[in-house]
Amino acid sequence: MDQITLDAPAKINLSLDITGLREDGYHELEMIMQSISLSDIIRVKKIRSGIDIHCSDKRIPENKDNLAYKAAQVVLDKYKIDSGVEINIKKNIPLAAGLAGGSTDAAAVLKAVDSLYRLNISREKFYVMARKIGSDVSFCLYGGTAFASGRGDILKQLPDLKKIWLVLIKPSLEVSTPEIYKSYDKRKIELNIPTARLVDQLKGQANVDWSAGFANVLEKVTEEKIREIKTIKKKLASFDPEFILMSGSGPTVFAIVEDEAKAEEIVEKWPGEDDFIVKSHTTNYKFPTLDIGEDIDDS
């Protein structure tokens, strides 16, 4: 096998709370993460040497600043592989959107190199490499529904939800995640998100009660920088969806709807011409369950 093609699914945050600032400058998080069907497509090919990277969206760096490049470098170095890889990324996930687009491409590259070079990487070793690349990469390796704490890299797998349809809408503006976290530090928003209760609810039932307190502490911060988020939420509310929330540090907003037809209706009738809009649905966990992140030796 000389090349492999993998889907790299986006994620949304069903909730996101910040419980403290860490000594390493990162924030202590409590998040419920969910993978969705909107995916980039990653093709990785063996080449003689080096890392060549090509991306369908030319705004993305085709060099070591790309998380997919970093992923290839980390795994080739770790397993002392002399030859190299060519990576092609067909971008469907919008950039700087709060959907983990870069992190999921990186996770797909780790898995692709594992398959191409028959490395048989253990889940623990995958995990150690993933967290070196970025906080969301560990979740992106496995997807499904998970409770994430620490930097976002301590994961507890939750039972798969039944398939839920949603619509994603991103205004034409982008945000910088570090900037949003810095603004949060100045604001100190407290929402008292009942994360433990939400997690218990997701463990106990396949149908989600969206009135149970799912929220995102970064939503207000990003809304102040990008006013369009409020407009999008207002327009979405007029379609009477089950639930509306910003994902991650934004600015993408998602609306949970009762079925595919409702998602299609919103996409067809959406009035914001400059917005990115797409229907999507939740996707399930792909690997055997093993909670991870508490006791990993980083060496």
Angle at 9 between CA 7 and CA 11, to 5 degrees: 170
Query: What is the size of the binding site for ligand C5P (CB under 6 A)?
Result: 11
User: Which helix H or strand E contains 146, and what residues bound it?
Assistant: strand 145-150
Bridge partner list, 46: 85
Among 134, 143, 144, 171, binds ligand C5P (CB under 6 A): 134
- With binding defined as CB under 6 A, does residue 262 bind ligand C5P? no
Q: List, in sequence order, every beta strand (DSSP E) within 48-108.
A: 51-55, 84-90
Within 19-38, which residues bind ligand C5P (CB under 6 A)?
A: 26-27, 29
Q: For helices 67-78 and 123-133, give the axis angle rounded to 10 degrees.
A: 140
Give yes or no for a contact between 33 and 133, defined as CB atoms under 8 angstroms apart.
no
Q: Output the smallest distance, CB 135 to ligand C5P, in A.
A: 3
**Residues 72-111 vs ligand C5P: string with x where CB under 6 A?**
----------------------------------------
Q: How many CB atoms lie within 10 A of CB 84?
A: 17
Among 9, 152, 171, 248, binds ligand C5P (CB under 6 A): 152
Q: Output the smallest distance, CB 73 to ligand C5P, in A.
A: 15
Among 79, 117, 181, 270, binds ligand C5P (CB under 6 A): 181
- With binding defined as CB under 6 A, does residue 42 bind ligand C5P? no
On the CB side of 230, CA atoms within 13 Å amount to 8
Q: Output the smallest distance, CB 152 to ligand C5P, in A.
A: 5
Q: How many CB atoms lie within 10 A of CB 288?
A: 8
Tokens found for residue 243: 């639930």
Q: How many CB atoms lie within 10 A of CB 204?
A: 8
Within 197-256, which residues bind ligand C5P (CB under 6 A)?
A: none
Among 123, 178, 259, 284, binds ligand C5P (CB under 6 A): 178
Q: Output the smallest distance, CB 87 to ligand C5P, in A.
A: 19
The secondary structure of residue 177, as a DSSP letter, is H
11 is catalytic: yes
Looking at the chain, the number of H-run helices and the number of E-run strands are 9, 10
- With binding defined as CB under 6 A, does residue 151 bind ligand C5P? yes
Q: Which of 105, 136, 153, 275 is catalytic?
A: 136
Residues that bind ligand C5P (CB under 6 A): 26-27, 29, 134-136, 151-152, 177-178, 181
**Which residues does the annotation mark as catalytic?**
11, 136
